[in-house]
Chain A
Amino acid sequence: MFPTSIYNAITIMDPKWFDMLEQFKIPYRPEIMINFGSNSVMTMGNAEVVTENFLKKFNFIFSFQLYITEFEDAVADIILPDTCYLERFTPAVSFPSTFSHPQGEDDWGWTVRQPVVQPLYERRDFNVVMLDICKRLGIAHKYYKGLNDTVPMRYGGPMSDKYKLKEDGSVDHTWEDICDRLLKDRFGDEHGLDYIKEKGVFTWPRKKEDVYWKWFNPVRVPVYFEYFIDGGEKISKLMKSYGVGEGHPLDLDWTRFKALADWYPCPSHIEEKNPPEFDMYTFYWRSVIHCNSLTQQNPLLDEMSHEDPYVYAIQMHKDTAKEKGIAEGDWVWIENTAGHRVKGWVALTDGIEPYHLAIAAVAGHWTDYQPIAKGKGTFFNDLVEMDKDHTDPLTLNQDICCRVKIYPV
C-alpha cells in the first residue's frame, strides 16, 4: 500500500518521480492504483502535470466510480461501477477529526448511511468488492489487519479484542459484519447494526463538560514549535545520508524549520516573479451546493447552480472589469505565469476585492461522459502549479493562491 495524499505534491512535481524513489532507496515501485470515487485529474492541481507526471506512471489503474469522470476517461484501465450512497452501508458519515459537529446542548448523535434501495444496474459497493477481491486473492486476513489498523487512526482509538476483525483468516467477515463490529465496539453491545437499522440514528446525552469544554480542560496552547527545529534537523540528516544535500533539486529550505510561526510569501506574492500584466489574484471558493468535483454531474445541483448568479461564473469587481474593458457575461481567459489558462464568463459584483477573481467549485468538466457537468463553470485547479516553488517544505502543502492575467476570449 502506498497511499498518496493530495497534499503530496512533491511526488508529482518531478516528472521522474520513480528516480526519486531510487534516490531514497525505496525498494518497491507502485504499479497499481486503486481509486475510490475521486477524480484526481481535476482535484489536485494542473491537470496536465498531474496526469503526465504522476497518473500515467502507473501500469494499471482501476477505479470505483458512480459515473465516469476525467480520471477514468484519461487513465483508468478498468472501471468498477460503484454504488450511490443510498445503496450501501457507510458506518461513519462524519469523521470526528474532519467534520465539525453541531454546537449547543442537544444530544450527540451518530448516523449510519444505510441502503434504502437496491443498487441499480450492476453497481456494487466498493467495500464489498474489495473484500471479494482480497478473498479471491487469499489475502483477506491482510485486508482485515489493514482495517484494524485504520480504525484507531480514523475513529479515535483501537478496537477491543472482542470486536477486532480476526486477522488469522479464521472468520469470513462480510461488510455488514465489519460495520456491526465497529458500531458495537464504539457504542456498546446493544448498539450494533441491527439497532441502527431500526432506529436510523444513535444518540446519547451531551454533558455540560462536552459543551463548555474549555472550562473543564486546563490546556496550554504552545507558542513555540521547537519540535520543528528537531524535526528539520532529523530530516535534513536523513536526506543527506541519501545524497540529497545542498544544491540538489530535492533539497528543502531548512531555514523554515524554526520555532516561531512566520510568513513566507508564495510565488504569487513575490513581485519579481510576476510580470506586471499578471495583476490579478484568483482564489477558489466552495459553493454550498457543490462538493469537490463530483457534484456538478448531479442534475438537481446543476440546475440550482444556474439559479445562483455566481456558481458557474468568475466573480470580478465591477470597477476592475471596467478598467480592463470586460463586461458582465463576457467570456475571458485567465492565464497564470506558467502559461496555463482556463476560460469562463464574468459576473460583476461589488462583493469582491478589486484585483481578485473568485471561482467556485471544481467545475469546468470536459469529459463526454459527464454531459450535465461538461463545459460549465471554470476549472480553477488548472491554474494551480505543482512544483517545489508552490509547495510548503514544512507541511508539503500545496499553494493554491494564483497570480493571473485576465483577457477577453
Chain B
Amino acid sequence: MDTKNFRKKALLQKDWHWEIAIYLFLGGVGAGAYVTGAISSFLGWTDMARWGVLVSFPALAIGLLFLVAHLGNPLRTYLAASKAGTSWISRGVIFFSVFMLVAIIHIIGTLWVELSGTIVLALSVIGIIFALGTMVYTGALLSASKGIPFWRSGIMPILFMFSALATGLAATVVFVYFFGSTPFLAGIAPVVALIAAALILGEAVVVLFFLHAAYRLPESRDSAVTATKKGSFIVGDVLLGLLVPLALMLYVGFGNAGGNTGTLMVIAGILVIIGGLLLRYMVLSVGMITTMYASGFEFKLQNKPEPKSPIGLVPPGNV
C-alpha cells in the first residue's frame, strides 16, 4: 500500500461517494440525451429524436433512485425543494422535477398518444431549458460547497454541461445503433460524429482548464495533483473517455469508415459514457476538506491519519 500520502488521504471527503457520482452522471446523461433528442427532432433526425427522448426519463429516474438511496432520511425527500432561494439542491429538485415531468409527457407523446406539433415544440423548448438547468445544477451543486476547495470552481457547471451533452449524445447514438431502424444513422452519421467530436473536444479543454485552475489555487492543489495521479482518471477518463473517442469520432466524421461507421461510433459512445461516469467519480473522490489558518499555523481536519501496517502484530519475545 502507498503509505506516503496517508495524511493527504485522511483529508479526502468520505460522505459523497459513488451513489452521488452515478446520480450526477445519470442526471447529465438524461439531460444531454433529451437535448439531443429535442434538437434532432427539429432537424428531422427521427431515430435520434426518438431515442434521445426515450433515454432521458429512465436515466433521470434511476439517477434519482441513487440520490434518494444515499440520503439519511429518504422518506423526507419531499422537503428538499423548500429553499430554492438559496440552496442548489432545492433548485436542482425543481429543475429535475419539471424536467422529468416534461420528459415523461414527451415520451408518452412519442410512444402512445399522438400530440400536436405545437405541443411537442413547446414541450421541447421547455424541456431543453430545464435540461440545461439540470446540467448546470449538477455542477453548481458542487461549486457551492465551501468546505471542499476543489469543487468551489465556477468552471464546474460548464464542465458538467459539456460532459452531460457529450454523454447524452453518446447514449442516444448507442441506443439508436442497437434499437433504431437500419441503416444506422443513414446519411447523418458523419455530421453526428463531428458534433460528438466537438463536444468531446470541448469537454477535454474544460477538463484541462478546470484542473489547471484547481492546481493554481494552493487550497485545491493537492486535490488536482491527486486527480492526475489517479489511474482511473488518466486511463479511464482522459485516454479512453476523451482522446480515443475523439479520434474515432473524427475518423468517422472526416474519414470514410464505410461499413465500420456504426461499430466505431458505438465504441466511441460507450467509451464517452464510461468516461463521463469516471469524471464525476474523480471529482467527488479527490475532494479534500479545506484547511484552516491561525496565527501562522496550518490546521487540517484529518480523519484517522494512520498508515496500514505491512506486517501483522509482533508480540515481543516470549511473552
- A331 contacts the other chain (Cβ, under 8 Å)? yes
Residues of chain B from 262 to 319 with CB closer than 8 A to chain A in the complex: 302, 304-307, 309-311, 313-319
Interchain CB contact under 8 A, B316 and A329: no
Q: Give chain B residues whose Cβ lies under 8 Å from the Cβ of A366.
A: 313-316, 319
A47, A307, A312: the one within 8 Å of B319 (CB)? A47
Interchain CB contact under 8 A, B309 and A329: no
Interchain CB contact under 8 A, B317 and A409: no
Nearest-neighbour CB distance to chain B for A381, whole angstroms, equals: 9
Nearest-neighbour CB distance to chain A for B259, whole angstroms, equals: 55
Interchain CB contact under 8 A, A331 and B3: yes
Q: Give chain A residues whose Cβ lies under 8 Å from the Cβ of B302.
A: 307, 309
On whether A52 and B318 interact (CB within 8 A), knowing A331-B311, A366-B313, the answer reads: yes
Interchain CB contact under 8 A, A331 and B319: no
- B7 contacts the other chain (Cβ, under 8 Å)? yes
B3, B5, B7, B316: the one within 8 Å of A46 (CB)? B316
Residue interface mask B186-222, A partner, CB < 8 A = 1: 0000000000000000000000000000000000000
Report the separation of the CA atoms of residues A46 and B319 in the bound assembly, to the nearest whole angstrom.
Answer: 10
Q: How many residues of A contact B (CB 8 A)?
A: 27
Nearest-neighbour CB distance to chain B for A352, whole angstroms, equals: 17
Nearest-neighbour CB distance to chain A for B257, whole angstroms, equals: 50
Nearest-neighbour CB distance to chain A for B305, whole angstroms, equals: 7
A306, A328, A342, A379: the one within 8 Å of B304 (CB)? A306
Residues of chain A from 341 to 383 with CB closer than 8 A to chain B in the complex: 342-343, 345, 366, 374-375, 379, 382
- B16 contacts the other chain (Cβ, under 8 Å)? no
Q: How many residues of B contact A (CB 8 A)?
A: 20
Interchain CB contact under 8 A, B4 and A327: yes
Q: Select from chain B the residue with minimum beta-carbon distance to A55.
A: B319
Q: Give chain A residues whose Cβ lies under 8 Å from the Cβ of B4.
A: 327-329
Interchain CB contact under 8 A, B3 and A48: no
Q: Most A CB atoms within 10 A — which of B3, B306, B310, B311?
A: B306
Report the separation of the CA atoms of residues A51 and B319 in the bound assembly, to the nearest whole angstrom.
Answer: 7
- A250 contacts the other chain (Cβ, under 8 Å)? no
Interchain CB contact under 8 A, B306 and A306: yes
Residues of chain B from 1 to 28 with CB closer than 8 A to chain A in the complex: 3-7
Report the separation of the CA atoms of residues A70 and B302 in the bound assembly, to the nearest whole angstrom.
Answer: 31
- A74 contacts the other chain (Cβ, under 8 Å)? yes
Interchain CB contact under 8 A, A342 and B316: yes
B3, B304, B313, B316: the one within 8 Å of A47 (CB)? B316
Residue interface mask A68-79, B partner, CB < 8 A = 1: 001000100000
Interchain CB contact under 8 A, B7 and A48: no
Report the separation of the CA atoms of residues A343 and B305 in the bound assembly, to the nearest whole angstrom.
Answer: 18
Nearest-neighbour CB distance to chain B for A305, whole angstroms, equals: 9
Nearest-neighbour CB distance to chain A for B226, whole angstroms, equals: 16
B5, B305, B314, B316: the one within 8 Å of A48 (CB)? B316
Nearest-neighbour CB distance to chain B for A338, whole angstroms, equals: 11
Residues of chain A from 12 to 49 with CB closer than 8 A to chain B in the complex: 41, 46-48
B contact set with A: CB distance below 8 Å: 3-7, 302, 304-307, 309-311, 313-319
Q: 24 A-B contacts, Cβ less than 8 Å apart?
A: A41-B319, A46-B317, A51-B318, A70-B319, A74-B319, A306-B306, A328-B4, A328-B7, A329-B3, A329-B4, A329-B7, A330-B3, A331-B3, A331-B310, A340-B317, A345-B306, A345-B307, A345-B309, A366-B314, A366-B315, A366-B316, A375-B309, A375-B313, A382-B317
Q: What are the 5 closest A-B residue pairs judged by CB atoms, nearest first?
A: A48-B317, A329-B3, A329-B307, A366-B315, A329-B6
Further contacts, 20 of them, CB under 8 A, given A328-B7, A366-B313, A375-B309: A46-B316, A47-B319, A48-B316, A48-B317, A51-B318, A51-B319, A52-B318, A306-B306, A309-B305, A327-B4, A328-B4, A329-B5, A329-B6, A330-B3, A331-B3, A331-B307, A340-B317, A345-B3, A345-B307, A374-B313
